[in-house]
Structure 1
């Protein structure tokens, strides 16, 4: 099929006609984006509602796979952990006399520090920022100014991506477990000095890592871990305690190693090694729904952004 214009028109007039067509197309697209923004606002409000602090919260079961190392639960209200009990059975954390496990209980005292999932705080802040961007774009800006709308759509896209990344886990600004230890008084009784309790979000699930720690002294000549316990003056150059070496000599197995067994960390100003580590992941339906919605919103905004860039004659990679 021929694409020639008949009767032929002058090149200058053809350029004017093309520009007029693009202008009409841009005007139509800018008008349709107002409806898109309203739809995006509804989706963002649903995400904000899923992350809002609503009683009674979400109670999540915690259980280590194929072992009795960790059992318990936590209750999340928004970004805060308001209740929780964890039973630990770790070789390096002997239970109190008469007990079969070591219990960690989140304090419910009004004066106790709060356990907070910072990633959820970040995600909710970014979602609220997205809602502000939508309102500013629809009500306070020039809806016919393509450059203004393009900048707002780009900002919206970036914020949604960051909010989704916060729920996905391990973003650039997220602190490692040894950089952000929890306050011992968030537990009742207080968390032992040689125990690290670290909560985070990974793939829209709540991830708990409990570690038992021991000091590492490079001046022993072997960088061998020593005990946190006062009075333990004799280093174990094999990396095992006397009891563990005796057990090994009598035919028992060596302690199971984990991915951090040979690393040294700075924790609360001390060089430490991780003696035992248990990792438990608990799926959170509200977080999963929020991340799925953010993914859908991200795709919709990306399509709108690309369509606007094409009509404006911009490269989608331009800032």
Structure 2
């Protein structure tokens, strides 16, 4: 299909008319983006409200699947965990005499250190940055300057994308469990030295890993693994020494079966192995709502960015 101008006009005049039409389209788009920014601000404020530190917070039930290894709850207020009780039944963590489980309780003392979820702190910071970008774009910048508006829209898109990624989890900036330690004094009584308590966010859910630890090379007095120190004639591809395998065969402690059973980690200055590991995921309705809203905002900003790039004649990454 072709478009004809009738009566015909000169080529140079046609170019001038096309440029004038494109300029009018650009000004119309810049004006409509002001309404889009107001709508985006409302959505961002809803996200900020869901992450605000408001009492009584969100109480999340913790329960290991198909086992009694871990039962309990935690309470999240904003980006912090302020309350929680966890009952553990792990072979390597015997309960106190007269008890059926080992209890970990967050301290309620006002002077106790708090447990902050860094991913939520990052998300909240980025959302606040987005709100600042929207206000700067609407009130302090030149709303008719296409290059300025384009730069602000791109910044807004990047921040929203990063905030959503922080809620999804497992980013390169996220520290592994053995490098991110919870203060033992956040618990009452303090967390045992051989227990790692690690909280993170994955797909807008709160993820708890509890691990019991042991020295990587016990009883040798050196850095030599126990299997070699015992004079084993061949390496142990199972990750267990001859002594450990004999002990298990004769009714000793059970083997550790999890994805980290044969790995060695540097934890608080020493090499350790993970004896027992339990993973519990608890869906947080507020975080799920934030992630859904950020996804919708990201799509809206991406459409605005693409439309502005097309009218400005810029190349876009989208097809």
- TM (normalized to structure 2)? 0.91
Query: Aligned pair in 2 of structure 1 residues 164, 224: CA closer, same or farther (>3 Å)?
Result: farther
State whether structure 2 residue 129 is matched by structure 1 residue 129: yes
Deviations 1:93-112 (CA, angstroms, capped at 9, x unpaired)? 11111111100000011111
Paired position in structure 1 for 2:274: 274
Mark the CA change 1:279 to 1:2 in structure 2 (over 3 Å): closer, same or farther.
closer
Count of aligned pairs: 306
Q: In the alignment, what sits opposite 1:84?
A: 84
Using the TM superposition, give the Cα deviation of residue 150 of structure 1 relative to its aligned residue in structure 2, in angstroms.
0.1
User: Is 1:187 paired with 2:190?
Assistant: no
Partner of 2:235: none
Q: Which residue of 2 aligns with 1:233?
A: none
* Contact 2:227/2:243, CA 8 A, preserved across alignment: no
For the pair 1:238 / 2:235, whether they are aligned, the reply is: no
Q: Report the equivalent of 2:176.
A: 176
Q: Hey, what's the Cα distance between the residues in 2 that align with 1:77 and 1:271?
A: 35
Determine the C-alpha separation between the residues in 2 that align with 1:82 and 1:48: 19
2:156 is matched with 156
1:287 matched to 2:287:
yes
CA distance in 2, matches of 1:311, 1:151: 15
Alignment gaps of 5+ in structure 2 = 229-238
CA distance in 2, matches of 1:90, 1:42: 47
Is the CA contact 1:216–1:223 (under 8 Å) kept in the aligned structure 2?
no
- What corresponds to 2:39 in structure 1? 39
Give the SS at the match of 2:272: strand
Superposed counterparts of 1:108-123, under 5 Å: 108-123=108-123
Q: How far apart are 1:249 and its partner, in Å?
A: 2.4
Structure 1: gaps spanning 5 or more residues:
226-236
Deviation of 1:14 after TM superposition, in Å, equals 0.8
Post-superposition offset of 1:138: 0.1
2:25 paired residue number = 25
Distance in 2, Cα, partners of 1:258 & 1:71? 19
CA distance in 2, matches of 1:196, 1:253: 21
